[in-house]
């Protein structure tokens, strides 16, 4: 309440929900989106008019240290979510991932150090663990860079840790599991499934069906961010957010078909399969630390969450191109 908060990556899927949630909680939110000549605010465009008007929307690029300094000026708390996130694209443009996810995070951390932020919430990903070596995955699990994307996020996480240890910057690293819900991009698996079903295709093209994922509804992820942002005991720690429940992509596709009311064959598309040693086969979150620190417990129901995601896709078909593989 009353805090001046910067959200980087506010035009993204989780970022837009977080900016909305912070504003609803009474924060003064500066929502930073990546500049484009179209003046596009990304997913913030889908907020109700009153919600969007309550945000200070600014534009820039975290790769530019001057932009970071301007964005962080006169701010109390920073939620850093800006990143390149598509794993398949990271095979084609690994340098972009280092520039945005590693160097961009460095720019944000340095701006926060210069201005003496009261709290910095840095966003990681469960992908940094690679395939689960222990189940569920705790924060002590080894970090394994199975893709250029996950390697770049490991680098960003270690920079955040170094700024806590070297400069006493009050950083909390939040490590969400696979978040889903309305506004998720076409490149994610759930929108991939629903967009093909809703378009009336006679089959659904997917990659690996055996991979297991821990699916967390977006409002639960946002509540986890808010809880950790307000938790002094979390400073200097890395904290998982997830349900602790796993589902295979094959079983997920079956649930999506039941919700959409259409059953069609699932077709293996070789272009969607990750390289052999890059596919993360299992991600199941140990969320006990988040619960112990803040009392956070995910409330979302998978069926209801999938229905909400499908509804958004059906209302915004122009955002999805089901005939193409979205990297």
Residues with a catalytic annotation lie at 149
| Cα 311 to Cα 304: distance, rounded to the nearest angstrom | 11
CA distance 84 to 31: 17
Place of tokens 């999938």: 306
- What SS3 class is residue 90? helix
Cα 127–Cα 132–Cα 134 angle in degrees, nearest 5: 140
Would you state the structure tokens that stand for residue 254, as one six-digit string?
């079956």
Buried b (16+ CB within 10 A) or exposed e, 301-314: ebeebbebbbebbe
Q: Which residue has the tokens 């201005």?
A: 115
Q: Quick one: tokens of 59?
A: 């534009």
Residue 204: name the closest of 213, 192, 212 by CA.
192
Count Cα atoms within 13 angstroms, Cβ side, for 75: 27
Do residues 160 and 173 make contact, with C-beta atoms less than 8 angstroms apart?
yes
CA distance 68 to 9: 12
Q: Give the tokens for residue 133.
A: 């070596």
Please tell me the total number of residues recorded for the chain in this structure: 327
Gap between the Cα atoms of 254 and 87, Å rounded: 24
How far is the C-alpha of 99 from the C-alpha of 279, rounded, in Å? 23
Q: What is the crossing angle of helices 189-198 and 302-315, to 10°?
A: 60
Phi/psi for 80 (5° steps) reads -100, 105
Angle, helices 104-115/65-72, rounded to nearest 10 degrees: 40
């Amino acid at each position: 309440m009353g805090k001046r908060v910067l959200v980087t990556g506010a035009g993204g899927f989780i970022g837009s929900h977080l900016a909305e949630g912070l504003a609803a909680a009474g924060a003064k939110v500066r929502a930073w989106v990546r500049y484009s000549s179209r003046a596009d605010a990304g997913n913030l465009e889908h907020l109700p008019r009153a919600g969007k008007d309550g945000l200070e929307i600014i534009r820039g690029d975290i790769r530019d240290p001057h932009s970071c300094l301007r964005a962080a000026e006169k701010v109390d708390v920073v939620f850093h979510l800006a990143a390149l996130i598509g794993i398949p694209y990271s095979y084609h443009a690994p340098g972009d991932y280092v520039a945005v996810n590693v160097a961009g995070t460095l720019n944000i951390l340095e701006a926060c150090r210069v201005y003496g932020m009261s709290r910095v919430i840095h966003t990681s990903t469960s992908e940094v663990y690679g395939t689960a070596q222990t189940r569920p995955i705790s924060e002590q699990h080894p970090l394994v860079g199975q893709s250029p994307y996950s390697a770049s996020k490991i680098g960003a996480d270690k920079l955040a840790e170094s700024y806590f240890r070297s400069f006493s910057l009050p950083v909390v690293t939040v490590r969400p599991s696979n978040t889903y819900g309305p506004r998720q991009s076409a490149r994610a698996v759930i929108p991939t499934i629903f967009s093909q079903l809703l378009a009336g295709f006679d089959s659904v093209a997917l990659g690996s069906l055996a991979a297991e994922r821990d699916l967390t509804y977006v409002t639960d992820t946002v509540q986890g961010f808010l809880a950790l942002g307000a938790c002094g005991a979390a400073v200097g720690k890395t904290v998982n957010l997830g349900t602790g429940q796993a589902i295979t992509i094959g079983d997920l596709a079956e649930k999506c078909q039941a919700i959409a009311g259409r059953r069609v064959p699932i077709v293996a598309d070789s272009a969607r399969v990750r390289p052999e040693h890059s596919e993360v086969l299992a991600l199941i979150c140990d969320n006990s630390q988040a619960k112990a620190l803040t009392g956070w417990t995910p409330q979302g129901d998978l069926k209801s969450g999938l229905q909400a995601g499908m509804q958004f896709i059906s209302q915004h078909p122009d955002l999805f191109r089901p005939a193409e593989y979205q990297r």
